A and B are shown apart, each in its own frame.
Chain A
Amino acid sequence: MLLMHYLTLAAILFCIGFFGVVTRRNAVAILMSVELMFNAVNINLVAFNRFTAPDALVGQVFSIFVIVVAAAEVTVGLAIVILIYRNWRSIDADRVNLLKW
């Protein structure tokens, strides 16, 4: 399989994730969509690593970091979601408009 295929797959996955982030109302669902986007990125990194510099392995190292950061992100994200839920009795992201002044 060519690099092109993997990249296209990653692009599709990324777009789906983005779609989910934009359209879902449930905060947990948004976080899951973000995870999809992270995975798309990881596929990209590994695919580039495999096809352009298979000996360097830098892409894989960075993927590890991405995974770790993603885990951190989802941890904090879920903590915030729980906090919001506790305060608003809701996890509807559209109702949480704190960013509005």
Chain B
Amino acid sequence: MLDKAFIIPFLPLAAFIAIVFFTNRREKLSAGLAIGAVAVAWVMSIVCLIEMLGYHGEGAFQLEQAFDIVTFQNFRLELGVLLDPLTALMLIVVTTVSLMVHIYSLGYMHGDIRFSRFFAYLALFTFAMLGLVLANNFFLIFIFWELVGLTSYLLIGFWYEKKSAADAGKKAFITTKIGDLGFTVGILMMGMFLGTFNYIEVFDKIAAGQLSGGVLTTMAILIFCGAVGKSAQVPLHVWLPDAMEGPTPVSALIHAATMVAAGVFLVARSMTIFMASPDGAMVVAVIGMVTSIFAASIALVQNDIKRILAYSTLSQLGYMIMALGLGGYTAGMFHLMTHAFFKALLFLGAGSVIHAVHTNDIQEMGGLSRKMKITTVTFIIASLSISGIFPLSGFWSKDEIIATASHQPIFLIVSLLVAFMTAFYMFRLCFLTFSGTPRNQHAYDHAHESPRSMTWPLMFLAVLSVVAGWVGIPWLSHGFSSFVYHGEPHHVKPEIILMVASTVVALLGIGLAYLMYYRGAISPQAMGARFKPLYTLLYHKYYVDEFYDAVIIKPVFAATRFLWKFDAKVIDGFVNLNASSTLRLADIKNWFDIHIVDGIVNGLGLITGAASSALRLIQTGRLAHYLLAVLFGLIMMGLLSSSNLLNWILWQIGLQ
């Protein structure tokens, strides 16, 4: 099966093509095709993973299948797949979440006028994501990278009648494009300095020290730029919260579990490059850290259920990035996997809630646990998992990250702080949504549990959220760390102190949320009033959007307006001046034509006429005259051609 893994991406692509060209009108069939394709891909991924787990060879498993599409003298562009544990892991994550989201969408998108198209987009996204994961070189990953960005744009703006959705789509596309620009340059540098895009060749060359110093660091940071854009790290994070304008399954699939993880995946994939460049790795770690604390703090005070989750995603992605930057390859990927499951679950749960009450505002909810049991239970499981409560999956992965960060005090403090914040805002969300009294009676009355197509994925993901982390329990001898690793497999030693610390911190956060939003012991309003400046700052998301608006967008618009004015006034002026002067010139030419040129022509005609009238008098019509004239001419010619004769005549008449 492993050597047929390249088929996996083509299944969703086939579904996409079939839906677009054939079954667009038949919604059930379209959805069935997409789900079937992804299900087969999922099964194949699992088989691949199992086969790979059965591999007991020297080092990590690696299988590359490729063929050249373009060959220059000694430069090749390949189309191919690289299968290794990282790929296998990502395949599982992507296909699992994708399959759940596909099924979930059956219920969530029911009745939408573009139902088939939605599944086509989902299938296309799945294809792009799988291709991105399987690619064996940087050129290919870039292609899928952009394709993923495109489908993200299409799906964010899926309800394009809504202006905010259309704007969010554009914002996402443009913002990630900024990062992609860096990525492009990084790849081009790679082609220039290393002469290849192939992962294995690139990593071999870098491991051999073929690149070093500034060039390597620059390249690493440029490649990281792509990850910053896709994974919505500071300072390019602004698009992700807005991307929540898209349908919730999309948010779950693309903007929580898979596409935003692509940035993390890219960093993990390029681990060799970052390990060879300590400065680059440090940039990665710092960006990740800043993002995690930054986003977590914003999430504390938001009221939109999806935005809270979005900032939570940012924060968790920052966690992973930080871990990778600190060399915690296994930790980062482990968290990526667990996070994919529980964050997808959170989003799908949120979608279920939104589906029920038709609002995103958690202040409008409350008491929903009585109406939506499955949703409530699964959502709380996911919240516990993300908060890092033993023995849920989030506990194990988060613990590994904290363990990775434990060597540097700042990172340790920040990661614990983020863990605390995460627990707090997640349970603030849970309590506000599911417990207490309904704050909007009307919405509450109409709320109901979602259909089975939506609840089953919730339950399935809830199971995964619990158990997925168990593969990485530190006491296991052949756990996650001996499968997905970079360089030498290293077994994280179980650090009881850190585990206890992180659990305590998480419980503190939950406790605080319990006090504030369940018991009402501490009034949130009072807290908000007491820390008003901080609250306002957080509520407005550190004014980053406003800052970008003032520093980038406004000046750009101003410059645009200026250019437009310049265009309208100066360039158009030139053009108009040119046109009017052409007209003037044409007038002059016209006058000249009529009076001078025609004058000359007419004058010539008149002169000819007049001269003819004079000359025609010579034409007597009498033969004799003509003959005489002919003879005269003849004699003259003879005279001129014979200078002897002329001389003789002149001599005769005494002139010479």
Contact = CB atoms under 8 A, between A and B. Distances in A.
Instruction: Report if A and B touch in the complex (beta carbons < 8 A).
Output: yes
B353 to A, nearest CB: 110
Contact of B624 (A22, A98, A100): A22
A18 to B, nearest CB: 7
A77 to B, nearest CB: 12
A97 B622 contact: yes
A21 interface: yes
A18 B622 CA distance: 15
A97 B620 CA distance: 7
Interface in B590-640: 616, 619-624, 626-628, 631
Contacts of A55: none
Interface in A53-84: none
A93 B616 contact: no
A93 B627 contact: no
A98 B622 contact: no
Contacts of B621: 97-101
A22 B627 CA distance: 7
Contacts of B619: 99-101
A101 B616 contact: yes
A23 interface: yes
Contacts of A22: 624, 627-628
A23 B625 CA distance: 10
A21 B630 CA distance: 13
Contacts of A99: 619, 621-623, 626
B622 A93 contact: yes
A30 B622 CA distance: 13
A33 to B, nearest CB: 11
B552 to A, nearest CB: 88
B626 A23 contact: no
Interface string A10-47: 00000000100111000000100000000000000000
Nearest to B612: A101
Contacts of B620: 97, 100
B631 A93 contact: no
B622 A21 contact: no
B624 A18 contact: no
A30 B623 CA distance: 10
Contacts, number: 31
A27 B273 CA distance: 119
A55 B640 CA distance: 36
B616 A21 contact: no
A94 B89 CA distance: 123
Contact of A94 (B624, B626, B628): B624
A94 B627 contact: no
Given A99-B619, A101-B616, A101-B619, A23 B631 contact: no
A40 to B, nearest CB: 15
Contacts of B626: 99
A31 B243 CA distance: 115
Contacts of B616: 101
A96 to B, nearest CB: 8
A94 B622 contact: yes
A92 B641 CA distance: 37
A1 B631 CA distance: 30
A30 to B, nearest CB: 8
A18 B623 contact: no
B632 to A, nearest CB: 11
Interface string B66-110: 000000000000000000000000000000000000000000000
A97 B628 CA distance: 16
Contacts of A101: 616, 619, 621
Interface in B10-66: none
A21 B631 CA distance: 12
Nearest to B624: A22
Nearest to B626: A99
B241 to A, nearest CB: 100
A94 to B, nearest CB: 6
A27 B620 CA distance: 17
Given A18-B631, A101-B616, A23 B623 contact: no
A100 B618 CA distance: 9
A18 B627 CA distance: 9
A23 B619 CA distance: 17
B576 to A, nearest CB: 58
Nearest to B623: A93
Contacts of A94: 622, 624
Nearest to A25: B624
Nearest to B631: A18
A18 B623 CA distance: 12
Question: Most chain-A CB neighbours within 10 Å: which of B619, B622, B626?
Answer: B622
B633 to A, nearest CB: 14
Contacts of A23: 624
Interface in B296-314: none
Interface string B451-476: 00000000000000000000000000
Interface in B430-484: none
A29 to B, nearest CB: 12
A30 B616 CA distance: 25
B622 to A, nearest CB: 6
A99 B618 CA distance: 12
A97 B618 CA distance: 13
A64 B626 CA distance: 29
A50 to B, nearest CB: 26
B417 to A, nearest CB: 117
Interface of B: 616, 619-624, 626-628, 631
12 contacts: A21-B623, A22-B624, A22-B627, A23-B624, A93-B623, A99-B619, A99-B621, A99-B622, A99-B623, A99-B626, A100-B619, A100-B620
**What are the 4 closest A-B residue pairs judged by CB atoms, nearest first?**
A100-B621, A97-B621, A99-B621, A22-B624
Given A18-B631, A22-B628, A101-B619, 15 more contacts: A21-B623, A22-B624, A22-B627, A23-B624, A93-B622, A93-B623, A93-B624, A97-B620, A97-B622, A98-B621, A99-B619, A99-B622, A99-B626, A100-B619, A101-B616
